Amino acid sequence: MSEYYDSELEEIKKKRLEEFMRRLEEERRRKEEEMAREAQRQAILRRIMTPEARGRLANVRLVRPELARAVEDYIINLALAGRLRGVVDDDTLKRILLELDSRSRRDYRIVIREKR
């Protein structure tokens, strides 16, 4: 009887270990794919942006990472669609930042009501 439980326990341990190893491998593969996609994005941005514009975007990323990501996506989409003329310089990046920032900002209003 004890041998039965021991073999059953070993089988459970083996299945758990296999599942753990499978998950670990999937996570490693997912991270590698994400790193490859990010490297490809950065390569595209290096080709279509001036060093000054990339520096400004890096500074924006420190403060507002979601805005920097939106700007990167916007610029990459323009380039892939063939609607980007030349490289993105600092002035062009400033205009894009203002446009995308104004779209994402919410207008907050504070209303103070007097007590009666």
| pLDDT values of the chain reduced to their tens digit, one per residue, 116 residues | 567 778 899 999 999 999 999 999 999 999 999 999 999 999 999 999 999 999 999 999 999 999 999 999 999 999 999 998 889 999 999 999 999 988 877 666 777 788 76
Helices 51-63 & 2-48 angle (0-180, nearest 10): 140
Domain boundaries, the chain: 2-104
**What burial letters (b/e) apply to 68-87, b meaning 16+ CB within 10 Å?**
bebbbeebbeebeeeeeeee
Class of residue 44 by CB neighbours under 10 A (exposed 0-12, middle 13-18, buried 19+) = middle
Residue 97 CB neighbours (<10 A): 19
- Who's near 95: CB < 8 A, 6+ residues apart? none
pTM of the model: 0.70
The pLDDT of residue 107 is: 65
Distance CA 69, CA 25 (A): 28
Q: What's the one-letter identity of residue 60?
A: V
The pLDDT of residue 114 is: 81
CATH superfamily, domain 2-104, is PDCD5, DNA-binding domain (1.10.8.140)
